[in-house]
Amino acid sequence: MNTSTVHNNEVLLVNLDNEPIGKMDKYKAHEHPAQLHRASSVWLINKKGQVLLQERSAKKIVGAGWWANAICGNLRPTEIYSECASRRLREEIGILEDEVKIEPVYKFIYRAYCNEKYGEYEFDQVYVGSYDGKIIFNENEVKRILWVDFDELVNQINLKTSIVSPDQTLLMSLKELQQNTKPCEIEFDQEKLLLTPWTCMMLRDLRLSKALKNLI
């Protein structure tokens, strides 16, 4: 295996102050108990007030078959947040850096249980962008995409009383995470979708809503 392949399979570990403390194989970093690492999440909204959701590929080690925002990706050890966001926009849904301008909104830390082997523990930078162009998704990363009305999405999420805050997850045991960070069910066009817990947490944050509304 060449060194570039090894590097691409590593994530950047940080402490609770978001200071780099090392690197680790991405599979090992997600094994219970997951290690805190940096990630970027991007939300895209179009002129109709719809946000892009993607159904995560069955090949994903976390959140396979669940739905999430436009992209979520782990930083490689040599990357900064914006570089990771641009790379994953290109790799997952075929959007080049010069096709969309993304703006950072806020950072948050959360933990989540995903399956018997893997979980999430991320220091996540949230970005927003306005986009009305083509989506050419990578089938190794994404199974399907869907544009949904943002207000309706938020309304459905606000009815879910079981969604915990990111801060609450930091104090939970693995068993508590399993019980309290399940994906939440929403419905669009008579189809039921399971949203990743981290997507649900972001939708509860007013900073995201405000930032996306400003782009319409």
In sequence order, which residues have a C-beta less than 8 Å from that of residue 100 and are 6 or more positions away? 44, 89, 129, 130, 131, 133
Q: Determine the Cα–Cα distance for residues 59 and 55; give it in Å rounded to an integer.
A: 11
* CB hemisphere CA count around 201 (13 angstroms): 23
Residue 103 known to be catalytic = no
Among candidate residues 10, 79, 120, 122, the one labeled active-site is 122
- Among residues 101, 142, 133, 126, which one has the least CA distance to residue 209? 126
Among candidate residues 72, 84, 184, 200, the one labeled active-site is 72
Q: Are 27 and 1 in contact (CB under 8 A)?
A: no
The structure tokens 């900064």 sit at 80
Q: Determine the Cα–Cα distance for residues 21 and 13; give it in Å rounded to an integer.
A: 6
Q: Are 42 and 70 in contact (CB under 8 A)?
A: yes
Q: Determine the Cα–Cα distance for residues 38 and 22; give it in Å rounded to an integer.
A: 11
Q: Are 138 and 89 in contact (CB under 8 A)?
A: no
CA 92 to chain centre: 12
Residue 72 known to be catalytic = yes
CA 78 to chain centre: 20
Catalytic annotation, residues: 72, 122
